[in-house]
Structure 1
Amino acid sequence: MATQDTALVLGATGGIGGEVARQLVDAGWTVRALSRRHVPVGDDTPGISWITGDALNRHEVMAAAEGCSVIVHAVNPPGYRRWASLVLPMLDNSIEAAIAQGATLVLPGTTYNFGPDAFPVLTEDSPQHPLTRKGAIRVELERRLFDATGSGARVIIVRAGDFFGPRAGNNWFSQGLVKPGKPVGKIIYPGAPGIGHQWGYLPDVARTMVELLARREALGPFSCFHMAGHWDGDGTALTGAICRAVHRHAGRPARVVGLPWWLLTLASPFVETFREMREMRYLWQTPIRMDNAKLVATLGYEPHTPIDEAVVATLVGIGALDPMPAAPGLA
């Protein structure tokens, strides 16, 4: 029997999964986290019970989910590798566990499952006709989740723009724009000049999920929400915030250069991650914005951290910027 405020998080060692796990603990939830290592190195978050197991092992997922009312499915193959063979089996295990427990399954969503016929403004009900393999997988993920609601599971999907946040994960910010653990001197921006892009700050996305979970009994069995996040209207807002942070904290300038897509093309036959990155290039060549009217109608607002604050926290968190020393008397 599910316990009202007990959650299992799959992918708690990653960016969004870890952020949701920590915020659930702060909100008073009992949180379990499934990891292939019993306690991941460097994670000393109090209040999280780590369980050794693999998201690809159905028995281990089912056992970890025993008694949980919520399952957060935030696990992905690292570096975009082996998506086609791993993503759907992992979700199927979470679905079976959610059905067995009558639990609410939470999924972080993306814009991948939409194609040009839905651009430039996306609502929750926009047509899903993707042109890429990862997009097709995303559509199938959501189809399977919808079908699961017919067997007793409940589903909440929160779609957001490209993630960034204090803990390095599998995202464009920390794997493209800057390098974790290295001082920022050069910012490599993938977007076409003048083209808008949407970003989702991980703590804001996690807060949105936690607040929706607090209202889950009032939601439908299959509920999807879009976040407006941080809209960069011409591709300079985020890089500008990085430059300001580096100048203020390190006293030096940072320069912005374009991503050499041609180099990724040359290396793609040999590097799977580069092939997968190339497939998503279209998202950097056209403005795609998400309409958050449904989310605001449900919560009354959208959690939103100012861009400069979010960027500084991200750069400090991934080791690309030293934290500012505390003012005298405030330490």
Structure 2
Amino acid sequence: MSAHNTVLVLGATGGIGGEIARQLRDAGWAVRALWRAAPQAEEVKDGITWLRGDAMHRPDVLAAAQGCAVIVHAVNPPGYRRWAELVLPMLDNTIAAACAQGATIVLPGTVYNYGPDAFPRLTETSPQHPETRKGAIRVAMEQRLQAATQQGARVLIVRAGDFFGPQAAQNWFSQCLVQPGQPVRTVRNPGRAGVGHQWAYLPDVARTVLALLARRNSLEAFASFHMAGHWDADGTQMAQAIGRVVARHTGTPPRTAGFPWWLTALASPFVATLREMREMRYLWQMPVRIDNARLTELLGAEPHTPLDAAVDATLVGLGCLPERTGLPIPRFAI
């Protein structure tokens, strides 16, 4: 396999990193993944070469990236913990490796970069004036990536809404709406009735990344694209989709309840994850919609799985349902 089709994925054990790694593998790329808990120094498993190493240790990242044309930076501190300490040093190691190889860095982006002055519709040129700590870090990440293009690296940012998918555990869907490994009897909706919310199905995000990587040589050195994903226009459609899918499996739809935000206020001084969730509450209190016009102009269409099919696959993957309904999960070749 030539270096042109060799990729290093940082965060391949996570939701979006794992999905991108698997789809790149299936598309014929030679995929390397860095993992601190790898049982051996190097092991090929399911078509992916797992290398023992730590994204916080620059020599590990530099060694793993040797000969790579692309580095996917999808690594995050678990449970939202120690963001301020870890996020930027990890990115700096990726940047150093990309500059050494002349590689393209792929960053799965979020809406945390934006503050209310950019709402409700976000484009690639919307102002980035965040009002949260995590948002400020996200802005700093993109600023460092843009500076890296002056040192030989290239950058591709794909921004989407809140992730959900079969193997995605650290997100609002699996940490709030449902409980992984448990039957769905109650769907807890963190949103406010009548307020729209943006969702992104992980396999669709990964397909979009692959389609853009196929065109990376024609893109500008610092390129960003927005995905529309699934727009929940009134803040109730995701919960309703979960209800439909569960009822199809069990015959009994779950009840819908509000998310106990009061509990995050009480527990946030003691639980880092709840503290960070509470900081992001503003994204559930006002509509934030991502405009994908630039993406569709380039690709012609955005990869898109119907909502019920995406929710079905997600609930099965999270262990919340006993078996699939047989709903088709469409594949796209863009």
Match of 2:59 in 1: 59
Would you say the 8 A contact 1:99–1:151 is kept in 2? yes
Deviations 1:233-282 (A, max 9, x none): 00111111100111001221201110111111011111111111110000
Q: Which amino acid aligns with 1:206?
A: A
Displacement of 1:326 in angstroms is: 6.9
Q: 1:73 to 1:202 in 2, by over 3 A?
A: same
Q: Answer yes or no: is 1:142 the counterpart of 2:128.
A: no
Would you say the 8 A contact 1:168–1:180 is kept in 2? no
Would you say the 8 A contact 1:22–1:45 is kept in 2? no
Q: Which amino acid aligns with 2:123?
A: T
3-state SS of paired residue (1:244): helix
Displacement of 1:169 in angstroms is: 2.3
Match of 2:211 in 1: 211
Would you say the 8 A contact 1:6–1:67 is kept in 2? yes
| Structure 2, gaps ≥5 residues long | 328-334
Match of 1:249 in 2: 249
Match of 1:24 in 2: 24
Q: Distance in 2 between matches of 1:325 and 1:203?
A: 19
Deviations 1:152-191 (A, max 9, x none): 0000000000000001321000111101111100111111
Displacement of 1:148 in angstroms is: 0.2
Displacement of 1:39 in angstroms is: 5.5
Would you say the 8 A contact 2:249–2:325 is kept in 1? no
Match of 2:33 in 1: 33
TM-score (norm 2): 0.95
Match of 2:114 in 1: 114
Q: Distance in 1 between matches of 2:176 and 2:325?
A: 28
Q: Distance in 1 between matches of 2:197 and 2:172?
A: 12
Q: Distance in 2 between matches of 1:249 and 1:44?
A: 37
Match of 2:268 in 1: 268
Q: Which amino acid aligns with 2:127?
A: P
Pairwise CA RMSD of aligned residues? 1.6
Would you say the 8 A contact 2:76–2:87 is kept in 1? yes
Displacement of 1:12 in angstroms is: 0.3
Would you say the 8 A contact 1:166–1:315 is kept in 2? yes
Q: Distance in 2 between matches of 1:174 and 1:303?
A: 23
Deviations 1:121-179 (A, max 9, x none): 00000000000000000000000000000000000000000000001321000111101
Residue range with higher mean Cα deviation, 133-142 or 246-255: 246-255
Match of 1:172 in 2: 172
Would you say the 8 A contact 2:312–2:325 is kept in 1? no
Q: Distance in 1 between matches of 2:299 and 2:39?
A: 34
Match of 2:185 in 1: 185
Displacement of 1:324 in angstroms is: 3.4
Q: Which amino acid aligns with 2:131?
A: L
Matched ranges for 1:88-107 at <5 A: 88-107=88-107
Number of residue pairs the alignment of both structures matches: 324
Match of 2:332 in 1: none
3-state SS of paired residue (2:146): helix
Q: 1:286 to 1:186 in 2, by over 3 A?
A: same
Deviations 1:59-89 (A, max 9, x none): 0010000000000000001111111001001
Displacement of 1:44 in angstroms is: 9.2
Match of 2:5 in 1: 5
| Structure 1, gaps ≥5 residues long | none
Would you say the 8 A contact 2:44–2:50 is kept in 1? no
Q: Distance in 2 between matches of 1:66 and 1:154?
A: 16
Displacement of 1:56 in angstroms is: 0.4
Q: Distance in 2 between matches of 1:326 and 1:94?
A: 40
Displacement of 1:45 in angstroms is: 5.9
3-state SS of paired residue (1:150): helix
Q: Which amino acid aligns with 1:300?
A: G
Would you say the 8 A contact 1:103–1:153 is kept in 2? yes
TM-score (norm 1): 0.95
3-state SS of paired residue (2:244): helix
